[in-house]
C-alpha cells in the first residue's frame, strides 16, 4: 500500500484544492471587476457624448428658431411695405380714373352741345334774328 489512509493528508489535499479554488475565484472576480470598470468608463463616455450631442442639438434648434423668427419678421416687414406700396398705387390709380372720368364727361358734354347746336343751330339763329 503506497499511501496510508491519513485524514490529515485528505484535509491537506482539501485545503490545497480550496486554496486553488479561492485563487481561481480571486482571478475571476478580478477579471469581472476589470470588465465592470471598463463598462463603467464606457458608459460614462457614452453619457458625456450623448449630453454633448444633446447640447449641440439644442443649440442648433435655438438657431433654427431664431432664424425662423427673424425670417418671419422680415417677411412681415416686406408684406407691410407691399401693403403700403399697394395703397399708394391704389390712390394714384383712383385719382387717374377720376380725372379720366371728368375728362370723358367734359368731352361728352361738349360733344352733346355741339350736336345740339348742329341740329338746332339754324332754329336758334332764326329765333335770335327774329327777336332782334
Taking the mean position of all CA atoms in its chain, how far away is CA 110? 64
Residues 86-113: what's their mean pLDDT?
Answer: 96
Question: Whole-prediction pTM value?
Answer: 0.47
As a whole number, mean pLDDT of residues 105-122 equals 93
pLDDT at 35: 94
Amino acid at each position: 500500500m503506497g499511501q496510508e489512509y491519513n485524514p490529515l493528508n485528505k484535509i491537506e489535499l482539501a485545503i490545497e484544492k480550496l486554496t486553488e479554488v479561492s485563487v481561481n475565484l480571486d482571478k475571476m472576480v478580478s477579471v469581472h471587476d476589470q470588465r465592470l470598470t471598463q463598462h463603467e468608463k464606457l458608459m460614462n463616455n457614452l453619457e458625456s457624448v450623448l449630453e454633448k450631442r444633446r447640447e449641440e442639438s439644442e443649440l442648433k434648434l435655438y438657431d433654427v428658431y431664431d432664424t425662423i423668427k427673424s425670417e418671419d419678421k422680415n417677411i412681415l416687414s416686406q408684406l407691410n411695405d407691399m401693403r403700403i406700396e399697394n395703397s399708394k398705387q391704389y390712390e394714384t390709380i383712383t385719382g387717374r380714373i377720376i380725372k379720366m372720368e371728368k375728362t370723358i364727361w367734359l368731352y361728352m358734354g361738349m360733344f352733346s352741345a355741339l350736336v345740339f347746336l348742329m341740329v338746332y343751330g339754324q332754329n336758334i339763329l332764326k329765333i335770335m334774328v327774329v327777336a332782334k
